[in-house]
């Protein structure tokens, strides 16, 4: 059954939780092959995830990244395998019949709107982190296709990070020119996914400064690794009846 406004952001039913793990581990490897074929993607810094999880018992974090393709959740999920995570997304998408349930099976967690939304979001992430080590958030709030100029970050993820006293792990999708093979070159850029070191909320006086620092950190990673904006296609249009609000 699809999520309805006011429901718990994370389903607790044991059978649903089991179905989530089965769906995640079946779908993500197949989807990663698709993403790789489209973008010749590679992942950098995967060892930082293992190092972080070994740093202390029950280590937990919020992963944030620039949002650049429809398939970003697949890339992020593949980057942290064999671990799994929850992904935040628009509440309207999770409310969609059939698709909404499938998204939740893959770890989708709606971002609530309206009254008490901040409190519900914080509690939802807190519950999510009792079940999986990571929750993934796109602080830009929208998908900017193939963009390499990181847009201003919303503060929600960083507010929750400070409230729960858990770090943020920045990640950056860097686009480069595709490799030419016998004179043929893809119309899509080549993608590199970079995992950065954790950043702790105690280093900042408020969530605004925290968000700005992490945004700049991701931009620096893109610039340092030669990210190109040649393939930028603008903001992805929302789909009526699915994610249009």
Q: Give the residue extent of every domain in the chain.
A: 14-235
The residues near 30 (Cβ < 8 Å, ≥ 6 apart) are none
Nearest Cα neighbor of 238 from 89, 34, 31 is 89
CA 225 to CA 160: how far, in whole Å? 30
Mean pLDDT on 223-237 = 94
Q: Quick one: pLDDT band at residue 192, thresholds 50, 70, 90?
A: very high
Tokens representing residue 184 in the block: 């043929």
Question: Which of 221, 218, 232, 223 shows the shortest CA–CA distance to 188?
Answer: 232
The residue to which tokens 């179905």 are assigned: 19
Predicted pLDDT at 182: 67
Percent share of the chain, pLDDT over 90:
62
Query: Quick one: which of 38, 88, 69 has its CA closest to 147?
Result: 69
- Which architecture characterizes domain 14-235 according to CATH? 3-Layer(aba) Sandwich (3.40)
Confidence of residue 179 (pLDDT cuts 50, 70, 90): confident
Q: Containing H/E element for 16?
A: helix 14-39
Phi/psi of residue 156, nearest 5 degrees: -55, -50
Task: Please list the residues that pair with 193 across neighbouring strands.
Answer: 43, 173
* Residue 230, both tokens: 């040649």
* Residue 137 and residue 42 in contact, taking contact as beta carbons nearer than 8 Å: no
Other Cβ atoms less than 10 A from the Cβ of 27: the count is: 15
Question: What is residue 35's three-state secondary structure?
Answer: helix
Residue with tokens 């409190």: 119
**What is the mean predicted confidence (pLDDT) over 2-9?**
80
Closest among 47, 105, 51 to 79, alpha carbons compared: 47
**Can you give the pTM of this predicted structure?**
0.91
Helix (H) or strand (E) holding 147: none
pLDDT at 94: 85
Question: How far apart, in whole angstroms, are the C-alpha atoms of residue 192 and residue 40?
Answer: 9
Q: Whole-angstrom distance between the N-terminal and C-terminal Cα of the chain?
A: 21
Question: Distance between CA 8 and CA 116 in Å, rounded?
Answer: 13
Q: Identify the pLDDT of residue 243.
A: 55
Q: Does 75 or 181 have the greater pLDDT score?
A: 75
Condensed to tens digits (0 to 9), the pLDDT of residues 48-64 reads 999 999 998 899 999 99
Q: CA torsion 47→49→54→55, rounded to 10°? A: 110
């Amino acid at each position: 059954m699809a999520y309805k406004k006011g429901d718990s952001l994370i389903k607790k039913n044991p059978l649903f939780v089991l179905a989530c793990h089965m769906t995640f581990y079946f779908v993500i490897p197949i989807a990663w092959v698709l993403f790789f074929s489209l973008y010749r993607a590679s992942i950098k810094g995967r060892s930082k995830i293992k190092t972080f999880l070994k740093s202390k018992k029950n280590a937990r974090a919020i992963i944030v990244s620039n949002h650049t393709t429809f398939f970003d959740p697949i890339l992020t999920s593949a980057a942290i395998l064999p671990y799994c995570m929850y992904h935040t997304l628009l509440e309207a998408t999770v409310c969609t019949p059939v698709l909404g349930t499938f998204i939740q099976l893959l770890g989708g967690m709606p971002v609530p709107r309206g009254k008490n939304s901040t409190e519900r979001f914080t509690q939802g992430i807190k519950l999510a982190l009792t079940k999986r080590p990571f929750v993934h958030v796109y602080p830009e709030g929208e998908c900017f296709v193939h963009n390499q100029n990181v847009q201003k970050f919303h503060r929600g993820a960083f507010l929750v990070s400070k409230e729960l006293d858990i770090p943020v792990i920045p990640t950056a999708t860097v686009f480069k020119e595709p490799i030419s093979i016998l004179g043929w070159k893809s119309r899509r850029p080549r993608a590199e996914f970079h995992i950065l070191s954790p950043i702790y909320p105690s280093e900042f006086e408020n969530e605004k400064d925290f968000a700005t620092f992490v945004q700049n950190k991701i931009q620096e990673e893109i610039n340092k690794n030669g990210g190109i904006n040649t393939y930028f296609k603008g903001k992805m249009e929302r789909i009526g009846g699915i994610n249009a609000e």
